[in-house]
Amino acid sequence: MGAEVIINKDNFEVEVLKSDLPVLTDFWAEWCVPCKMVNPILEKIAEDYRGKLKVAKINVDECGEIASQFNIFSIPTMLLFKSGEVVQQQVGAGSRQAIEGFFKDHI
């Protein structure tokens, strides 16, 4: 993983809630096939939007309390945080164009 940030319960507040940049969080799991399909797209978005958008990966198996806090029942689910608040939510895998459309108005 290059430009993406790996989130855990210890860094969630600093990396997501207190981030100066909008944060696209990807709730995923190792066993989730659609999650694996969307991962290369998110890696490229993290590189292409470096300095404008932070892409954060949250493994639901390791961070179940964070997933529960935001009512994540299906994965992949992407939440867009801006100034510590969820401003967008998307459930399911999507194309790069669909994912960019999800956050473009917020950067």
Asked if 81 contacts 17 with a C-beta cutoff of 8 angstroms, the reply is: yes
Residues 6+ apart with CB under 8 A from 31: none
pLDDT value of residue 1: 46
Residue of 7, 23, 32, 79 with catalytic role: 32
pLDDT value of residue 3: 85
* 63 is a catalytic site residue: no
Of 74, 69, 65, nearest to 27 by C-alpha is: 74
Structure tokens at 86: 């969820």
pLDDT value of residue 55: 97
Q: Rounded to whole angstroms, what are the CA distances from 1 to 17, 44, 55, 61, 73?
A: 21, 10, 11, 18, 25
Residue of 23, 24, 35, 63 with catalytic role: 35
pLDDT value of residue 83: 96
pLDDT tens, per residue, the chain with 107 residues: 468 999 999 999 999 999 999 999 999 999 999 999 999 999 999 999 999 999 999 999 999 999 999 999 999 999 999 999 999 999 999 999 999 999 999 99
Structural domains of the chain, with CATH: 5-106 (3.40.30.10)
pTM of the model: 0.94
